[in-house]
Structure 1
């Protein structure tokens, strides 16, 4: 079979291998890129390298128009980036002789500000979680362990602003109790050290002292946080904990990522330097961190309008 008649599968596989090994993208991101690339090729009817060579910019724009009927602009933007990178890789590695996606633009997105809790709401959320962990009440050792775990996870998420994926990836050795820091493996396998405060320390100590051993099973390994069955906790469980605790505290419903936004905003409101927050959150671009200054400005305007008589 002629090289141009080879199936598209090995091409996509080569692209994903490049992203994984050369650019250090996570398995989750690689799976998303693979799915997006395969869906685009399927819609365009591309089965071989020869057919890939024949794809034009208008074909890709037609694909985008079709996708927009089924997905949000945010999802389409992600898909478009994946397809654009696929064609750029193919051109750079001699798979194709031209790059039809070079001029493909992502859909314009509204610049919505990140959802955050204000400082009072965040305090109420943390106090509610802490209260649930206070001794008392008739609960089983297993239920008590889960309560301690949930409190520790919530305190650590807010104290550090880490991503939920980073939280579930923490090991016991990731925590330095002497200087209250955690070593986090972020996006692109970039490691950083993040400090946390006394409330998170107390919650972690309680979980490690009175809870973790109760949940630990044979597959627990060195994982810091465990699921109900004793293995490393799943991201979906953490998200469920944050939603449930927000409802119990009577604050607006938030996700772990919104709690990350809240931590960043409250640090900036408290006078932290923008680059310090960038380092703590593991942002590769200062522009990403600058979004939180916009949140602070919006909150300032809101307080001004409420409090100033001539606002």
Structure 2
């Protein structure tokens, strides 16, 4: 069964072209299921163990300990693995597909006010020392500002941001287009970046050579303090720390992505255009942001619709007898 998992991982990487984050998550979720089966049965797991009873028992061990969204992702990994096993002829049916998703509560995405995002981006950077390597404060400040500008300015996922290479940037004067390679779902997309964000990125790139080390990835846009590619964890720490000190709510990098979409929608941007920039495969995913702007929607309606407001003197509850 472990060999089948290795082949499945190879399938995701070479044929499906799933993102590294997705591959790691699926591999971890399936390995956890195999561990649970082996602990329960006292023997090595086999393809035949991927059955409804075993899957439900595995999910039951996480009930109340994991969020419904996490359990749904783990079930999705088992379903994908079950389909792979079926196509490989190792099982007759994909029984994991028969297990229903756990009920998920409606959780609204967090979107910060524009003023909060601005404060996060423009806050002064702290001096940072990593081991014996001391990062010059100016380089650190420019890099952090550029990261925040790109996350918010292009609505990128944190994994997409840290994977950016220099070849993904296309300059057109003071304008910039960012090519996101293999976003979620394995699809490339091109996103415009506003002039302030493009300028912040240009200013960082001028000092980027100071972060280079002999083994630095030559193409990586964002480098860490030791010269390697900036990690997801470092970006999450940056965003969360800035939001704690500068914003009205603590957010993750995904919160900046939510803010990007919400602010575009509130400014009248077409939902299809937002879908394209976010890289959503389905418009229904993008429509989550519409409820955040219902107040703005009512304002626009009342200003634009000819019958939105009653003539003066009507609708005040008075009547003539």
Residue 131 of structure 2 corresponds to which residue in structure 1? none
Stretch deviating more after TM superposition (148-157 or 113-122) = 113-122
Residue number in structure 2 paired with 1:73: 68
Partner residue, 1:88: 83
CA distance in 2, matches of 1:262, 1:148: 22
| 1:200 paired residue among 190, 197, 202 | 197
Aligned pair count?
A: 287
CA contact (8 A) 2:176 2:192 kept: yes
> Where do 5+ consecutive residues of structure 2 fail to align?
127-133, 300-315, 317-321
How far is 1:103 from its partner?
1.3
Local SS of the residue matching 1:180? strand
Of the three residues 252, 263, 269, the one matched with 1:272 is: 269
- Paired with 1:143 and 1:63, the residues of 2 have a C-alpha distance of 49
Match of 1:291? 288
1:280-299 CA distances to partner (integer Å, 9 max, x unpaired)? 11111111111111222267
Q: CA deviation at 1:300?
A: 6.3
Tell me which residue corresponds to 2:103: 108
Matches within 5 A, 1:1-311: 8-45=1-38, 51-53=46-48, 56-126=51-121, 128-129=122-123, 142-178=136-172, 179-185=175-181, 186-209=183-206, 211-220=207-216, 221-297=218-294
Compute the displacement of 1:58 (Å): 2.4
Higher helix proportion, which one? 1
Compute the RMSD of aligned alpha carbons.
2.6
Using the TM superposition, give the Cα deviation of residue 195 of structure 1 relative to its aligned residue in structure 2, in angstroms: 0.5
Are the counterparts in 2 of residues 124 and 251 from structure 1 also a CA contact under 8 Å? no
8 A contact 1:53–1:98 mirrored in 2: no
Aligned counterparts of 2:29 and 2:96: Cα–Cα separation in 1: 14
Q: What whole-Å deviation, never above 9, does each CA across 1:106-149 have from its counterpart, x for those lacking one?
A: 101111111110223223333x33x659xxxxxx9711110111
Deviations 1:171-193 (Å, cap 9, x if unpaired)? 22222222411111112442211
Shift of 1:54: 5.5
User: What is the TM-score normalised by the length of structure 1?
Assistant: 0.84
Distance of 1:188 and 1:125 partners within structure 2: 30
* TM-score normalized by the length of structure 2: 0.81
Provide closer, same or farther for how the CA distance between residues 93 and 118 of structure 1 changes in structure 2, counting only shifts above 3 A.
same
Supply the distance in 1 between the matched residues of 2:263 and 2:50 (Cα, whole angstroms).
Answer: 48
3-state DSSP of counterpart to 1:177:
strand
SS at match of 1:280: helix
> Greater CA deviation, 79-88 or 116-125?
116-125
